[in-house]
Amino acid sequence: QVLLQESGPGRVKPSETLSLTCAVSGGSISSHYWHWIRQPPGKGLEWIGDVYYSGRSNTNPSLQGRVTISPDTSKNQFSLRLISVTAADTAVYYCARQVDHDPFDIWGRGTMVIVSS
């Protein structure tokens, strides 16, 4: 059974960098696509981007080049880095798996990140 677990600081100061990690257990990241999605409190879902184990990634243009998503095959995990955060980046951040063109079949439990000084 593949499980995903997000980790990272729960609070980040405005203008600083948000860094999260998604640990994958029960399966290898050296296949499929791995995604980050976020959900502001009480709101809908926003796709942030994805990465393949080779390092090839796609990110949402709405985030204006602030996002980097990277794999770490040695630790079987992948990471999210979001620079220059503002209060609008406050959200629950989820990682998820995608097989081929299928939708996201496995999600982490999510981690809440609050941007506040």
* E strands in 2-90: 3-7, 11-12, 18-25, 33-39, 46-52, 57-59, 67-72, 77-82
Give the integer Cα–Cα distance in Å for 81 and 22: 12
Give the integer Cα–Cα distance in Å for 3 and 103: 16
Binding of another protein by 53 (CB under 8 A): no
Interacting residue with another protein among 58, 68, 76, 83 (CB under 8 A):
58
Binding to another protein in span 71-100, by CB under 8 A: 94, 98
Instruction: Provide the mask over 27-46, with x wherever binding to another protein is found by CB under 8 A and - wherever it is not.
Output: -----------------xxx
Residue 115's H or E segment, with its range, is: strand 111-115
Interacting residue with another protein among 64, 103, 116, 117 (CB under 8 A):
103
* Contact residues: another protein, CB under 8 A: 44-47, 50, 58, 60-62, 94, 98, 101-105, 107-110
